[in-house]
A and B are shown apart, each in its own frame.
Chain A
Amino acid sequence: MKKLVKYLFVFVALVVVLTSCTGGASYKALIITGQNNHNWKSSSPILKEVLLQTGLFTAEIAKSPEKGGDMNSFNPDFSKYNVVIIDYNGESWSEKTKAAFVEYVKNGGGVVSYHAGDNSFPDWKEYNEMIGLGGWGGRSQKDGPYVYFKGDKMVIDTAAGSGGAHGKRHEFEIKARNVEHPILKGLPQRWIHGTDELYAKLRGPGKNMEIIATAYSDTAKGGTGRSEPILMVINYGKGRIFHTTLGHPDKEGGPALQCVGFITTFQRGAEWAASGKVTQKIPYDFPTAAGSSYRLDYKELTLEEDLNKISQYDITKSTKYFTDLQTRIRKESKTADDFAKFEKAMVKVLENSSASDDGKKLLLRELSWMGSDISVSAIKELAKNPNLKDEAEFALARLSPSK
């Protein structure tokens, strides 16, 4: 037995070494899809992309046969992976595949149930224990109680009725219920989620489950009038399951997947499911209680991309990119070098003759407090432009008060 443990240890060490050779990624993720009443063809590549962005994962997509196909042919080797993402809501898997999945999780494999992942397999007992709560597919009181929040208290409601509902898609506030959980640690306690379905009336066994975030399902939007579970963590055997109800995909992906709140909690939840810990930084553009935050191409903008947007800035359209820049400066500037990095990039926009005056006006305001000699000559140049004179003088008055 001791020998076996030793061999196992060597094997694990080897695996770690080998995987770390493949570009530094620590974990292997498998996204399961191929059947879904949702646009899995758009969602699965996006999920793969956002996992790769973390630098922590390699990711593969495993497609099941199409509906009516031979499900016996679908047997991914789960044991090769650290986390399995369920972007699947379709026909039952073969008994063999189901058994292999249960084994995988019992032995410590991670799972992420994404959006309609909690619609699938209404009759598979072990799966429902893994996801804690589910909806649709004929789920009712026979499958377990409704679970939701009333004030600060979790309610276990055994009332009869169908499981699974959602009102109109809209932006809604998500409330963290356990800010100390690794997935949520460092995130704001409340934030506005991008336009999405707000799943409600979920019911299930709810064993070994913790609801770590909820959202109020507003009756005005066709909701239930109660705080519904949105993010859950479940233990099954040695396995960890992260359950997110978020991320309804349109044909092209769309706002629910573009939401930085979705992307970040998905990335963090996947790491937690794979390892039990979360090492990722909180992105500067995480949404706040003041408003939602979207990444139109599912990627965090680089500083250069952000400034490029500001250089084309038209105040009638948006102040978003400027607000983003301010947030970055606030969160990422502690030393003079940090400030100088931002300042140099901002000066480039000031010196760019094709950049918009509206964009330059905003940058001049920001530079007035965080700038230095680096920007003074560029600002003096802009003071000659009648359209920018006031803002340039404003900045100079703060930067070189002896002027």
Chain B
Amino acid sequence: MLDKSTRRDFLRQSTAIGTGAIILPQLIPSTALGMGGKVAPSDRIVMGCIGTGSQGTGNLREFLKNHLDRVQFIAICDVDAKHAANAKGVIDTANKNSDCKAYGDYREFLEKEKLDGVSIALPDHWHGLIYTAAANKKLDVYGEKPLARTIHDGQAIVSAAKRNNIVWQTGSWQRSRENFRRGAELAVNGRVGKVTRVEVGLPNGNRGVGTPPIKEVPAELNWEMWLGPALKVPYRGISHWDWRWILDYSGGQLTDWSGHHIDIAQWGIGMERSGPIEIAGEAVYPTDGIYNAPVEYDFLCKYANGIEMRVANEARIEKGAGATWYGDKGWIHVNRGNTLTASDPKILEEVIADNEIHLYKSTDHIGNFLDCVKSRGETVAPVDIAHRSISVGLLGEIAMSTGQKIQWDPVKQEIIGNPKASRLLTRPYRQPWNVPTI
């Protein structure tokens, strides 16, 4: 039997991967790889999970529900022993045994377990370290959005993923939904004429909880490890899920959703591997309490080709949540709930000719990841695109928190002429953790 890296190299060589502005569908039917029938248990992709809170466990269930024939989970890791025990239970039930290993420290997990891939769902402040560590172990990664808490961390993750030639799927699952893909494809092929502006509505923020009293850390939670590289603060009962309202761990709804509607919006203007050149706007911050992520936000991004993209909390956007491309001949709007509407319904019936741009077609986000783990092809939500999607949200955060108009070089990935704002491109880590290098 080929060892893992050799097997991958073989598959990589045998699969032609198109790159460039036009991304061709890369769904390779498993039959083409000689996997048409039942997969032998020993050929299943061996995976583990890091982070088994609501999102991590939700992803795990998706893997197990639809893909048990080609994936096997054998280990999990979480700083909350209850979450870990729960996820182990889910896996053991699927495996009909009690063999799933549970870890509390990802370093030990990565060291001891022999895996092909890992599914990761963590608070954003941990992404830089754990995504790069997994990549450096040459594991294929299904990783939750947003890619990183800072642009620097994102660059480090992209470079680690590329350097190690891993397959990466970001949890930007809207890319695998036909309404979003079709909307973006119509827009990028000029079916609303020349797109001049895009509006992106993301959820409103959370006004806050004040400052809850310091509490005893629950026995199951390793608070020190939960904080990791973030500044040390006493436990006030705010950790799981609600980390997204605190800027030490997240940028709020804006960054949480950058990997969804901003990701789709840039797809529909052909900017998914580039970015804006100027960003300016305003946010409304809570006036009290420990939640400090914006409650409302509204910023404008200008792209080199003249397109303007406005990103704001949905209450401020005419069409509410979702992405809307406006061209000189109409508009197209996409949102959750299978929403795909246009200024003229005929736009939605347009056929995209063979010589036009065909956006990557995936109908099963997790299945697409597993297909690519086998084919070594590129996923529908690869790491560099995820980085460019969250970069827009992070640049908006910098513009709004500093009150400055940001000039951005999307090629060099540098803020131009503003050393103070440039400092916000990275976030120092608390010792003993070190910021990952690019």
Q: Is the CB of B286 within 8 A of A370?
A: no
Q: Is the CB of B423 within 8 A of A390?
A: no
Instruction: Give the shortest distance, in Å, between A59 (CB) and chain B (any CB).
Output: 30
Within 8 A of B (CB), among A329-349: 329-331, 333, 339
18 of the cross-chain contacts (CB-CB < 8 Å) are A288-B284, A288-B285, A289-B296, A290-B287, A291-B207, A318-B211, A318-B288, A319-B289, A320-B288, A323-B286, A323-B292, A326-B285, A339-B420, A370-B402, A394-B231, A397-B428, A398-B423, A399-B423
The residue in A288, A318, A320, A331 that gathers the most chain B C-beta atoms within 10 A of its C-beta is A288
* A22 vs B134: C-alpha distance when bound (angstroms): 73
Q: Is the CB of B295 within 8 A of A289?
A: yes
Q: Which 10 A-B pairs have the closest CB atoms?
A: A397-B428, A330-B403, A291-B287, A290-B295, A288-B284, A290-B284, A398-B423, A369-B423, A394-B428, A289-B284
Q: Is the CB of A331 within 8 A of B403?
A: yes
Q: Is the CB of B286 within 8 A of A291?
A: yes
Judge if B323 is at the interface, Cβ distance under 8 Å. Answer: no
* A326 vs B292: C-alpha distance when bound (angstroms): 11
Within 8 A of A (CB), among B413-436: 420-421, 423-424, 426, 428, 430-431
Chain A residues near B426 (CB, 8 Å)? 398
Chain A residues near B213 (CB, 8 Å)? 316
Judge if B290 is at the interface, Cβ distance under 8 Å. Answer: yes
Judge if B401 is at the interface, Cβ distance under 8 Å. Answer: yes
Chain A residues near B421 (CB, 8 Å)? 369
> Residues 153-196 of chain A: 1 if any B CB is under 8 Å from the residue's CB, otherwise 0?
00000000000000000000000000000000000100000000
Given A288-B284, A290-B205, A319-B289, 9 other A-B residues pairs in contact with their CB atoms under 8 A: A288-B296, A290-B287, A290-B295, A290-B296, A291-B207, A293-B287, A317-B211, A323-B286, A398-B423
Judge if A393 is at the interface, Cβ distance under 8 Å. Answer: yes
Within 8 A of B (CB), among A363-395: 365, 368-370, 390-391, 393-394
* A43 vs B25: C-alpha distance when bound (angstroms): 71
Closest to A330 in B: B403
Instruction: Give the shortest distance, in Å, between B403 (CB) and chain A (any CB).
Output: 4
Q: Is the CB of A319 within 8 A of B290?
A: yes
- Using known A-B contacts A316-B211, A394-B428, A394-B430, determine if residue A330 contacts B402 with beta carbons closer than 8 Å: yes
Closest to A389 in B: B431
Q: Is the CB of A368 within 8 A of B423?
A: yes
- Using known A-B contacts A315-B211, A390-B231, A398-B428, determine if residue A369 contacts B287 with beta carbons closer than 8 Å: no
> Residues 253-296 of chain B: 1 if any A CB is under 8 Å from the residue's CB, otherwise 0?
00000000000000000000000000000001111111010011
- Using known A-B contacts A319-B290, A330-B401, determine if residue A393 contacts B285 with beta carbons closer than 8 Å: no
The residue in B213, B403, B421, B424 that gathers the most chain A C-beta atoms within 10 A of its C-beta is B403
Chain A residues near B295 (CB, 8 Å)? 288-291
Chain A residues near B205 (CB, 8 Å)? 290
Within 8 A of B (CB), among A289-343: 289-293, 315-320, 323, 326-327, 329-331, 333, 339
Instruction: Give the shortest distance, in Å, between B292 (CB) and chain A (any CB).
Output: 8
Judge if B346 is at the interface, Cβ distance under 8 Å. Answer: no
- Using known A-B contacts A370-B420, A393-B431, determine if residue A333 contacts B287 with beta carbons closer than 8 Å: no
Judge if B232 is at the interface, Cβ distance under 8 Å. Answer: yes
Chain B residues near A399 (CB, 8 Å)? 423
- Using known A-B contacts A315-B211, A330-B403, A398-B423, determine if residue A320 contacts B287 with beta carbons closer than 8 Å: yes
> Residues 391-418 of chain B: 1 if any A CB is under 8 Å from the residue's CB, otherwise 0?
0000000000111000000000000000
Chain B residues near A368 (CB, 8 Å)? 423, 428
Q: Is the CB of B231 within 8 A of A391?
A: yes
Tally of A interface residues using CB under 8 Å? 33
For A323, give its contact among B288, B296, B402 (CB under 8 Å). Answer: B288
- Using known A-B contacts A289-B295, A291-B207, determine if residue A369 contacts B402 with beta carbons closer than 8 Å: yes
* A241 vs B334: C-alpha distance when bound (angstroms): 47
Chain A residues near B211 (CB, 8 Å)? 315-319
Closest to B424 in A: A369
* A393 vs B434: C-alpha distance when bound (angstroms): 13
The residue in A188, A287, A290, A397 that gathers the most chain B C-beta atoms within 10 A of its C-beta is A290
Chain B residues near A326 (CB, 8 Å)? 285, 401
Closest to B421 in A: A369
Instruction: Give the shortest distance, in Å, between A176 (CB) and chain B (any CB).
Output: 14
Q: Is the CB of B430 within 8 A of A390?
A: yes
Chain B residues near A397 (CB, 8 Å)? 428
* A399 vs B296: C-alpha distance when bound (angstroms): 29
For A369, give its contact among B285, B286, B289, B420 (CB under 8 Å). Answer: B420
* A399 vs B428: C-alpha distance when bound (angstroms): 10
Closest to A328 in B: B403
Chain A residues near B284 (CB, 8 Å)? 188, 288-290
* A292 vs B287: C-alpha distance when bound (angstroms): 8
Chain A residues near B285 (CB, 8 Å)? 288, 290, 323, 326-327
* A288 vs B284: C-alpha distance when bound (angstroms): 6
Chain A residues near B402 (CB, 8 Å)? 330, 369-370
For B428, give its contact among A315, A320, A329, A393 (CB under 8 Å). Answer: A393
* A339 vs B421: C-alpha distance when bound (angstroms): 12
Instruction: Give the shortest distance, in Å, between A315 (CB) and chain B (any CB).
Output: 6
Chain B residues near A327 (CB, 8 Å)? 285
Instruction: Give the shortest distance, in Å, between A300 (CB) and chain B (any CB).
Output: 15
Q: Is the CB of A290 within 8 A of B424?
A: no
Instruction: Give the shortest distance, in Å, between A387 (CB) and chain B (any CB).
Output: 10
Chain A residues near B287 (CB, 8 Å)? 287-288, 290-293, 320, 323
* A401 vs B346: C-alpha distance when bound (angstroms): 56
Instruction: Give the shortest distance, in Å, between B398 (CB) and chain A (any CB).
Output: 9
Chain B residues near A331 (CB, 8 Å)? 403
Instruction: Give the shortest distance, in Å, between B433 (CB) and chain A (any CB).
Output: 11
Closest to A336 in B: B420
* A391 vs B423: C-alpha distance when bound (angstroms): 15
Closest to B313 in A: A289
Chain A residues near B420 (CB, 8 Å)? 339, 369-370
> Residues 85-108 of chain B: 1 if any A CB is under 8 Å from the residue's CB, otherwise 0?
000000000000000000000000
Chain A residues near B290 (CB, 8 Å)? 315, 319
Chain A residues near B403 (CB, 8 Å)? 329-331, 333
> Residues 72-108 of chain A: 1 if any B CB is under 8 Å from the residue's CB, otherwise 0?
0000000000000000000000000000000000000
Chain A residues near B231 (CB, 8 Å)? 365, 390-391, 394
Q: Is the CB of A290 within 8 A of B428?
A: no
* A188 vs B296: C-alpha distance when bound (angstroms): 12
Closest to A365 in B: B231
Chain B residues near A330 (CB, 8 Å)? 401-403
> Residues 191-232 of chain B: 1 if any A CB is under 8 Å from the residue's CB, otherwise 0?
000000000000001010001010000000000000000011
Closest to A371 in B: B420
* A306 vs B290: C-alpha distance when bound (angstroms): 19
* A315 vs B289: C-alpha distance when bound (angstroms): 8
Instruction: Give the shortest distance, in Å, between A196 (CB) and chain B (any CB).
Output: 17
Chain A residues near B401 (CB, 8 Å)? 326, 330
Instruction: Give the shortest distance, in Å, between A289 (CB) and chain B (any CB).
Output: 5
Closest to B214 in A: A316
Chain A residues near B286 (CB, 8 Å)? 290-291, 323
* A326 vs B420: C-alpha distance when bound (angstroms): 15
Instruction: Give the shortest distance, in Å, between A97 (CB) and chain B (any CB).
Output: 44
* A390 vs B429: C-alpha distance when bound (angstroms): 9
Closest to B286 in A: A290
Chain A residues near B292 (CB, 8 Å)? 319, 323
* A335 vs B211: C-alpha distance when bound (angstroms): 34
The residue in B207, B213, B287, B424 that gathers the most chain A C-beta atoms within 10 A of its C-beta is B287
